[in-house]
Copies of this chain bind each other. A is one copy, B any other.
Amino acid sequence: MTIFKKLTILGGATVFAVAAMPGMAQNLNLHTFAGRNSAVIGPVPHLLAERVETFTGGEVKIKVFDPGDLVPAIQYYDAVSQGSVDAAFGAAGFEVSKNSAYDFVSAIPFGPQAPEYYAWIFNGGGLELAQEFYARDNIYWYPCGNVVAETGGWFKQPLNGVDELAGLSMRFAGLGSKVFTKLGVSTQLMGGGEIYQAIELGTIEAAELSFPANDRSAGLPEVAKHNYFPGWHQQQAINEILVNMTAWNGLSDGAKEAIHVSCKAAILETMAEGEATQFAALEQHVADGVTLHTYPQDWLDTFHATWLEVVEEEKAANPDWARMWDSFSAFRARYKLWADRAYLPRN
């Protein structure tokens, strides 16, 4: 999108989008927050780039830049907004300082499993709300990958009661951290690569990170032996592509369709691979002496009641968050009539 970038720089803030000329090559620089070797997620932007180039007959060439090459891993929002980076493969959870409503297209405590989540996103209003909010910052938003359920956290010692959470120091990212903070946990945010050492040194006593295969990559089974389930704070999460709006508007309809369809395929692929690759990690956890615990229902009830307090606070703090919550919870309430009947109990 060199042409548009130059126009922006020369002409100031306002640039009228020009329809792409047939045969005019367009080069998009795409930042990714996840290294290529990151389990399940890492290959997504590289595959997207290959497919979009193939499907546009070379009209659109996407060059993928690793974390740090253009901007730091999770600090891509302003760069895409301003157009100094054309696009980014990311997760909305990294962008909630810009608008807390982005929580809803990232991961939601006590949120839905994947089929219901995408039903709301694509057919229940979620996509339109997200695109409205991102457009204010000159960004086109689209979901582009699924993240399977996280685990409910790693602890050095087993917990004998929900009250034992109070006073613990724990790495925790996202909305779930607000729930655990209310329960007396001292929550801290740190990168996945720092957790191992922080637990070993005693800086923290517990951590939630990701799904089991990623938790293994981070070495967590070596430093904590009690892994709790379910990951109530992140039953499923979404990856995304952000495209500078001027760059987006300059793409042909065929190129836009190539991005949409490739991203939808990526969601299915990461959903399938994510589900298929966790049990082997759990089997290895157990072989390494990790005990797999399930949170008792009354603890989950406490977490849920506390989450509803967080909901009220977030709604009051941000009208966009309230609009997302209203859309999401109205959809879920009607969906329940179906979900309560359609599916066999897991057994």
Using CB atoms and an 8 Å cutoff, list the residues of chain A in contact with chain B.
51, 54-55, 57, 110, 113-116, 118-124, 148-149, 151, 212, 229-232, 235, 254, 257-258, 260-262, 264-265, 267-269, 271-280, 282-283, 292, 294, 297, 300, 331, 334-346
Contact = CB atoms under 8 A, between A and B. Distances in A.
Contact of A272 (B55, B122, B275): B122
A283 B337 contact: yes
B123 A338 contact: no
Copies assembled: 2
Residue among A148, A271, A292 with the highest chain B CB neighbour number at 10 A = A271
A275 to B, nearest CB: 4
Contact of A261 (B262, B271, B283): B262
A162 to B, nearest CB: 16
A120 B260 CA distance: 25
A263 B336 CA distance: 29
B282 A338 contact: yes
A55 to B, nearest CB: 4
B272 A118 contact: yes
Contacts of A115: 113-115, 148, 271-272, 275
A335 B275 CA distance: 8
B344 A300 contact: yes
Contacts of A336: 279
A278 B116 CA distance: 12
Given A271-B118, A276-B119, A229 B342 contact: yes
A57 B54 contact: no
Nearest to A263: B265
Contacts of A335: 275-276, 279
A34 B342 CA distance: 23
Nearest to A252: B54
Contact of A264 (B231, B260, B264, B294): B264
A337 B261 contact: no
B272 A265 contact: no
Given A212-B338, A232-B344, A268-B268, 10 more contacts: A115-B272, A115-B275, A119-B273, A122-B273, A149-B343, A229-B342, A230-B341, A230-B343, A235-B344, A340-B346
A278 B230 contact: no
Residue among A55, A230, A334 with the highest chain B CB neighbour number at 10 A = A55
Contacts of A275: 115-116, 118-119, 123, 335, 338
A261 B114 contact: no
